[in-house]
Chain A
Amino acid sequence: MQNQTVPSDSPLLELRDLRTGFALREGYVKAVDGASFSVARGETIGVVGESGCGKSITARTILRIAGTNDSELGGEALFRRRTRDGRPGEVVDLLKLAPNGREIRSIRGAEIAMIFQEPMTAFSPVHTIGNQIIEAIQLHHPVSKDEARATAIDMLRRVEMSNAERRIDAYPHQLSGGMRQRAMIAMALVCRPQLLLADEPTTALDVTTQAQILALIRQLKAELGMSVMMITHDLGVVAETAQNVAVMYLGKVVEYADVRALFHDPKHPYTQALLASIPKLGREAGARLHPVKGMVPSPFNRPRGCPFNTRCPKAMPGVCDVDMPGPTTIKPGHTVSCFLYGAGDTRTEAAQ
């Protein structure tokens, strides 16, 4: 276990060149291949990308629940723990903790919690939601069952679940999708974590329910003073919730910027292409969309050089398809990994 002393104004979580790989029968997958960004206290960071870009695995790697024990991890994930009396404590590298050891378990749920896309399958179908929430409390606090139950009901009320006293004894299949997601949020937040990893929390929901859930997350974030990592493929959700955004493509963070800069002045050709390809409500109707050409390459067959070079309209032959660009800082808080803005700390494919 490696503990370092870092100034107290340091971020809550800092990812440094995070890498996660899996050996599957079909081949080796670099699911996350160099993700570096940090999450400040009280901030919402958006992580966007298309399916297979590694955004979910990034979150799961932070909690150390990505895949099985045979996944290969690299880089650092420095997390500032909370002391017993709620003040900032020591910094641990989450990746160096034993996979299911005592320390990571004391962080999971208590300091970093996670909610998922499918609230139906995220709850055990044969236990009441109350049972599952109470368990979450008792795992981290030495309270009696009755106390835990009272806390759980209180939390259900806070996620605006009507009839919380009765619904606490409901089974997941007895609730609607929106209610299940509320229960999920209640379970995740019941121990007042410092960081909430929200993995596509509204993708499976209807628009009006999505609006309710996003408003709820925003409100609870303010109340509990936590940070949120909002993982989504929906640029609209990011624009409305996040202060800073990391754009991922094939396991790499290609651009990191504050939300205004990202939407108004995107630098990476992928970010630009992504923004040009979505229809925007209220935009002059009829304007033609500009799609990114081609498909996301298979994770088993990553292109050489910059992962985006095969689809990039500005790709420079002999450069982009040879070397991997490193992150280049354009201005404070805005980094981009693209040769158009410099090479960054270039690493060649061969060197890996």
Chain B
Amino acid sequence: MLRRILGRGQPVAAGVPAATAEPTQPLETETEKHDYAVASEWELMWYKFKRHRLALICGVVVLLLYVVAAFVEFIAPYNPEAQNPAAAYQAPTRVHFVDAEGNFHLQPFVYGTTSQRNPDTFELEFVEDTSVIHPLQLFVRGDSYRMWGLFDANLHLFGVEDPNVRLYLLGADRQGRDMFSRIVHGTRISMSIGLVGVVMSFVIGIVVGGISGYFGGTVDLVVQRIIEFIRSMPTIPLWLGLAAALPADWSILQIYFAITVILSLIGWTGLAQVVRGRALALREEDFIMAARLSGTSRTRIIVRHMVPSFMSHIIAALTLAVPEMIIAETALSFLGLGLRYPAISWGVLLQEAQNLRSIALAPWLLAPGAMVVIAVLALNFFGDGLRDAADPYKR
């Protein structure tokens, strides 16, 4: 409000005064002004984004999650399918710095565990064997895997050297599989399905939104009605209906793509509206007309004027659409209509937590849910920051 009152025609951005036209004018802070004056859109956006501390941190978290998704085999200490009946529902292994004698160790370590059945409840109980210390180490040889389908390896980021001691950072499931390794492996599908789904929605959205905005008139009206229609439908039943029709004998990869297609079939509407809205707003901008009057070709106007003008907005909208996809996949898989065993995603892992009794017995089965929350929050805050920074020229 103040800005509106104070200066009708003056940009008061970032505290730097407008440069002066008259060469006779003194320019005291020339260098400082110069930086700002020649800052491109992306630099201005970066200045603005940087001020948003939380978004910056969340951006780092998102980046980390995708790094994990890329290197799951290496980061997970074990093969996610490695079963160990003796360790069913074993509680998370405690990582110690101080041993039973009270000595401090700089390197964290764990104790071996022995299990015994409680004679009264018949449940397995786990007891730490404090006699031997097993230090946690970096770059440990362990279960072998094939990295990206390219080469075989058995190096893991961390672990315990002794193959007889299993490390369950987040406990074990019913079959004694390491939850931590499984969650790390789930990262790949859960995080990528959001990305792939958003890319697919984006393609549909930009095509439909572009057509709508380009032709305008009746086409636009019809497309708008279709979008409104899709948005007025409750999505989960629709997803369920479509997902239920997927043949049971499809491979993981087929199901994976089918699910992303199903999610994007409904998810594109939001992006189409962003694209259309921006396109309509841009059409009103004088600089588009000025470009046309300068003899610039239609293609060049689209490529050099229009696309850069909504790139930043689209990127922000895409980022904000990823968490929706992640939640949708998790929900579908959780209900058993999305990805299925042997695929590993956070949603699939959460299926184990459907039973109240198992959660009560092993609350760590909810850990994949915590990952979903972390990923979704990080993406939301990050996307929010992007959106705020998306228009550095806003007056």
Contact = CB atoms under 8 A, between A and B. Distances in A.
Contact of B10 (A22, A60, A298): A298
Contacts, number: 53
B15 A300 contact: yes
A302 to B, nearest CB: 10
B17 interface: yes
A296 interface: yes
Given A24-B2, A52-B6, A67-B2, A299 B25 contact: no
Contacts of B1: 67
A244 interface: no
A103 to B, nearest CB: 25
Nearest to A200: B8
Give chain A's interface secondary structure class.
Answer: loop
Contacts of B9: 51
Contacts of A57: 5-6
B14 interface: yes
5 contacts: A294-B25, A298-B12, A298-B17, A298-B18, A310-B26
Given A24-B12, A26-B12, 8 more contacts: A25-B15, A26-B13, A29-B2, A31-B2, A56-B5, A57-B6, A295-B20, A295-B21
B18 A295 contact: yes
A301 interface: yes
A279 interface: no
Interface string A46-85: 0000011000110010000001000000000000000000
A297 B17 contact: yes
Contact of A51 (B2, B7, B20, B21): B7
A134 to B, nearest CB: 27
Give chain B's interface secondary structure class.
Answer: loop
Contacts of A60: 5
A296 B26 CA distance: 14
A299 B7 contact: yes
B12 A299 contact: yes
Contacts of A142: none
Interface of A: 22, 24-27, 29, 31, 51-52, 56-57, 60, 67, 293-301, 310
B152 interface: no
Nearest to A302: B17
Interface string B165-181: 00000000000000000
Interface string B3-42: 1011111101111011011101110000000000000000
A31 B12 CA distance: 14
B220 to A, nearest CB: 24
Contacts of A298: 10, 12, 17-18
Contacts of A299: 6-7, 12
A26 B22 contact: no
A24 B12 CA distance: 10
A295 B7 CA distance: 13
A300 B26 CA distance: 16
Contacts of A31: 2, 5-6
A310 B25 contact: yes
A31 B9 CA distance: 16
B295 to A, nearest CB: 32
Given A294-B22, A295-B21, A26 B8 contact: no
Contacts of B5: 31, 56-57, 60
A63 B198 CA distance: 52
A173 to B, nearest CB: 20
A70 to B, nearest CB: 11
A295 B25 CA distance: 10
A67 B5 CA distance: 9
Given A294-B22, A295-B21, A310-B25, A29 B6 contact: yes
A61 to B, nearest CB: 11
Nearest to B33: A301
Interface in B183-225: none
A25 B13 CA distance: 10
B17 A301 contact: yes
Q: Which of B7, B17, B18, B24 has the most CB of A within 10 A?
A: B17
A294 B2 contact: no
Interface in B295-310: none
A298 B18 CA distance: 7
A294 B15 contact: no
Contacts of B22: 293-294
Contacts of B14: 26
A298 B25 CA distance: 14
